[in-house]
Structure 1
Amino acid sequence: MSLIDAVAGRRSHPKVTGDAPTHEQLLPLVEAAASLADYGSLRPWRLIELRGDARDRLGAALAKDAGVEGKDAEKMAAKPLRASLLLAIVAVHKPSFKVSEWEQDVVAAGVGHLMSLLLHEAGWGVMWRSGKQVRTDSVRAMHELEPNEELMGWLYVGGKHDREKPDKKHKFDAEKVLSAL
């Protein structure tokens, strides 16, 4: 499969099986993602694997910061349990007179997207999830983020279901977004 076919065939998998790549299986994908264009070669990012009870702790942090109770809190707390592996994408802001924080965020987001493509190509179902909770105090504390770090979101990773619906991606008209001066 060509790179363009792999990229064009990528789609989000909101429902995945309980299977997930091991730490060892992730390492070559992370190494490949590190080849991303990186202003100043700062590598202003890191990834955090959340498995097992770490997902429960994340759910508790999500519910706490959402300020919900009862069934709503249970729903919120269950969100990280949708996949057995969550990869937190973290932007690590490093001092640089040449590279601003927003450019470092772009690199971290690029690594997140590359990881989703690499995981897809490796046969895993992936969906990037974020939301206002990525910036809340409890979620930051749960991930043990440093003051110079920002959570960009999570890749929910798992096995693909056997009976997936055919891809219904709509044809994209590139002429609408590609212009010349």
Structure 2
Amino acid sequence: MDSLELLLNRHSCAKLSDPAPAGKVLENIYLAGLKAPDHGDLRPWRFIEIQGEGLDKLTEIFVEATQATGGNVDKAKQMAYRAPMIIVAIASCTEHPKVPETEQLLSAGCAVHAMQMAALAQGFNGIWRSGGVSYDPLVKEKLGLSDKEQIVGFLYLGTPAAKPIQKKAYTISDFVTSLV
């Protein structure tokens, strides 16, 4: 698939199965993320790779956080098992005189997008999820985040287990104006 076709046909895949990306394919996924736009070369991100028994540990964290907030525990028990691999994307912003936190968060988001596109380009796919667990202080604590770090999202990766849903076609003029 060429680059333009990949971008124009980007889609998430919520139904993922084994195998997960590994070896050179996984290395390429991380390398794509490290090429994200990054004003000031701050590298304001880091990642936690979770698979195998790690998915069980993540489930325990999700369940504990959900119980504390009175959420749906049954749903929390299933969340980590939606894919064979999850990469937790973390924004590690630092104070910088020329690069505000917003730019650093956007950079971390660009890294996640690049990683998902690299997975798709190599025959895998994923879905970028967030939700309440992304902002939960207990989840952040259990994953070892500092007070200044934020979870940008959970990138679920694996082999597509269903045909992707065709995305809606958009009209460019609905989103683009000109300054005249």
Is TM (by shorter chain) over 0.5?
yes
Q: Distance in 2 between matches of 1:59 and 1:10?
A: 29
1:153 equivalenced with 2:153 (yes/no): yes
Moved more, 114-123 or 129-138: 129-138
SS at match of 1:115: helix
Q: Is 1:58–1:77's contact at 8 Å kept on the other side of the alignment?
A: no
Instruction: Give RMSD over aligned pairs.
Output: 1.8
Task: Give the conservation status (yes or no) of the 8 Å contact 2:17–2:160.
Answer: yes
Uncovered stretches (5+) of structure 1, i.e. residues with no partner = none
DSSP 3-state at the match of 1:103: helix
Change over 3 Å in CA distance of 1:175–1:84 after alignment to 2: same
Residue 100 of structure 2 corresponds to residue 100 of structure 1: yes
Q: Percent identity?
A: 27
- 1:153 Cα deviation from its structure 2 partner: 0.9
**SS of 2:17's equivalent?**
coil
8 Å CA contact retained: 1:61, 1:139: yes
Note the C-alpha offset of 1:24: 4.5
Deviates more, 1:20-29 or 1:136-145: 20-29
Residue equivalent to 1:177:
175
Q: Quickly say closer, same or farther: Cα 1:16–1:4, change in 2 above 3 A.
A: same
Show structure 1 runs of 4+ deviating over 4 A.
Answer: none
TM-score (normalizing by structure 2): 0.90
When residues 168 and 36 of structure 1 are mapped into structure 2, their CA distance, relative to the original with a 3 A threshold, is same
Please report the TM-score for the alignment, with normalisation by the length of structure 1. Answer: 0.89
Check conservation: 1:45, 1:89, Cα contact below 8 A. Answer: yes
Distance 1:98 1:166, change over 3 A: closer
SS in 2 for 1:81: helix
Unpaired runs of at least 5, structure 2:
none
**Partner amino acid for 2:169?**
K
